[in-house]
Amino acid sequence: MNYSMELKDFLLHKGAAEVGFANLSGLVAGKITSGVSILLCLPKDVVKSISDGPNEAYYQQYLTLNDKLIKLAKLGADFIRAKGYEATAQIPTTIARLENYRTELPHKTVATRAGLGWIGKSALFVTKEYGSAIRLTSIVTDMKLDYGTPINKSICGSCNICVDACPGKALSGKLWDVETDRDELFDAIKCSTKAKQLTLERLGEEVTICGKCIEICPYTQKYIKDIAVE
């Protein structure tokens, strides 16, 4: 039996903004063949407020969305297991974090394979509807699902707005495709160092959030200004 629509409707009803299904064959060891990508979007007013840098409202929203994503991933995994399949919510307690802010199966990889969007020059996940004003989580499972069509290359084209605006000068400007290593797109240490500096100045503590490349992305600008995307 195919539970794709039931699972998607369940997660959307629980608050997800978008849900997609990815074929992970060859990417994950063992019986795992499928990924569930779950997306939440940042509120427009919060995104507008970070045009000059991170602030308390953005930080609190960041924490709130992370909590919601954990709950959604757990609920989705419980749903799948109740149908008799294996499922693991890719949340902080189950994901092994590697060096240099890496994970073995990034949420962004699941999302691109599900066809929800692409990786921008910011190294962030970008969708036509929300730009990069989103947060992601994912579930891995052996349940067969109706997979989306993978997006295998960027559609950022010649746009370098996020590259030029990056306060940490961490972005290379390279266009992403499925063969691109993350470190070819940006310097994670430069990004983290600048973000911590900005949040220490503005929030009184070091946090790895900045938000400039989120706010300034043309697709994000269309989202917060309610401009239709073709």
Q: Concatenated DSSP letters for 63-90?
A: HHHHHHHHHHHHHHHHHHHHTT--EEE-
**Does residue 133 sit within a domain?**
yes
Tell me the pLDDT of the chain (230 aa) as tens digits.
789 999 999 999 999 999 999 999 988 878 899 999 999 999 999 999 999 999 999 999 999 999 999 999 999 999 999 999 999 999 875 555 545 555 788 999 999 999 999 999 999 999 999 999 999 999 999 999 999 999 999 999 999 999 999 999 999 999 999 999 999 999 999 999 999 999 999 999 999 999 999 999 999 999 999 887 66
pLDDT at 227: 83
Sequence-separated (6 or more) residues with CB below 8 Å from residue 96? 103, 104
- pTM of structure: 0.93
**Does residue 85 sit within a domain?**
yes
> What's the domain range around 88?
4-224
Contact (Cβ atoms closer than 8 angstroms) between residue 199 and residue 209: yes
Token digits of residue 18: 């978008």
**Does residue 230 sit within a domain?**
no
Tell me the β-bridge partners of 38.
19, 137
pLDDT at 134: 98
**Does residue 229 sit within a domain?**
no
Q: Count of domains in the chain? A: 1
- Strands (DSSP E) along the chain, which ranges? 18-23, 34-41, 87-89, 97-98, 102-103, 118-119, 125-126, 134-141
pLDDT at 1: 77
**Does residue 29 sit within a domain?**
yes
User: CB neighbours (10 Å) of residue 137?
Assistant: 27
